[in-house]
Amino acid sequence: MPVRIFLLLLTLILLSGCQSTHSEHTPDEHLNGHSTPVAHFEPDQPLPALPTPYTSDDVWQRIRMQLSFASSTHPRVLKRVNWYLQHPKYMHTISDRARPYLYYLVNEVERRGLPIELALMPLIESDFNAQAYSEKHASGLWQLTPLIAKHYGVTINPWFDGRQDLLQSTQAALDFLVYLHKRFDGDWYHAIAAYNTGEGRVATAIARNRKAGKPTDFFSLSLPKQTRHYVPKLLAAAALLKQQRMHFPAIDNQPAFTQLALDKAVILPDQHDWAELEVLNPGFRRFPVLLNGPGHVLVPTARTQEWQLAANEFQALPDSRWQQVVVRRGDSLSRIAGQHNVSVSELRQFNQLNSDMIRIGQTLLLPSREEKLDYVVKRGDSLWRIAKQFGVTVKDLKRWNQRDNNRLQLGETLAIHLSAP
């Protein structure tokens, strides 16, 4: 082969190799005259973690991530959705009221493995008003009736109503809902409806539809008007939260209170700002007297240590006093109840009676409606200030202590009689 041809072939082979190598290392490097940057990834660099129900900063979002009830386009649900949207400030009010309670409610629902929608039921029941009271004598966040509350172990006495206690009422309400869920073969809509109107009415409505060959789902049942709209209210609120169509002002996803043991009846001293305790402990019916309660008091988490120190100095009240009444000829429960300003149901409860039958000579226990407190006068006290603190009158203070003037001496003891509400 001539040398010239050999050199030409060698040159072509070398040029071809250079072009091939260049294209392997810089693909698509020239587009419209511009170079395209190449992204470089670090294989060991973790991706940012997505929020979970437990890492979210907001309890509402913690709920939103766990909503499980199927979406509904039933007219009753859509009507309530529109109502919520037309009242945008409503959820601001709800969030303000729910702030001390919602974290605890969510925790308890999760702990039991129940649908997170149940944590929204106080929104439907009471607008998160812990002191709500209905004409049917239902009370508290969960609107428990006295019968249901007592059945599930809630404390109710002249000084304390556990239906307005966050811990007792929540446990009773969730126990009741679990029972209803089982009673209605795992149908949560039926269980929630029964919580509102009673299991008998829901069971009757189901049986009636079944006999007529009609569907037995909640929306097909003939129920009282309030109950027909009760479940849709819950579904509408859940839908707006899930779809983020309405603003739910954030609530911190952390405990709002700490539970302190309270093994004695006390009167909160007025030098402490006990108004914040009233928000967390509305079950005590004669604030600031904490008497015959559940053995604990809830305090704001941010001030736990301060309240723990203050609790050590709370002045103890005497134990509740009980009267003994011996049944005489002609007595009846209603007559004895009327004489001592208690109800027949209270008499039966206090004496563990299964009926209204009593016998001559039988001894009945009656709770005293009045507690006597020995109050030690402190610097800065006056009869007016002490009367205001305990919700009594200056006139009564004078009468109880047999005095005709307003003068007080530091360290003297005053008798104060506190009547149950």
Point out the residues that are catalytic. 125
Name which of 277, 266, 264, 338 is nearest 306 in CA terms: 277
Neighbour count for residue 263 (Cβ, 10 Å): 8
Can you tell me whether residue 130 is helix, strand or coil?
A: coil
Specify whether the CB–CB gap between 123 and 237 falls below 8 A. Answer: yes
DSSP notation for 244-268: T-S-----BSS--EEEEE--S-EE-
DSSP-based helix, strand, coil % in the chain, nearest 5: 45, 15, 45
Neighbour count for residue 251 (Cβ, 10 Å): 24
Residues listed for the chain? 421
Specify whether the CB–CB gap between 299 and 305 falls below 8 A. Answer: no
Specify whether the CB–CB gap between 358 and 364 falls below 8 A. Answer: yes
Residues 6 or more apart whose CB falls under 8 angstroms from that of 236 comprise: 77, 78, 80, 81, 83, 84
CA contacts within 13 A on the Cβ side of 86: 6
Q: Euclidean distance between the first and final Cα of the chain, in Å?
A: 123
Exposed/middle/buried for 99, CB within 10 Å: 0-12, 13-18, 19+? middle
Q: Is the peptide bond before 288 cis (omega within 30 degrees of 0)?
A: yes
Rounded Cα distance between 70 and 80, Å, is 16
CA 171 to each of CA 112, 115, 147: distance values in angstroms, whole numbers, following the listed order: 10, 15, 15
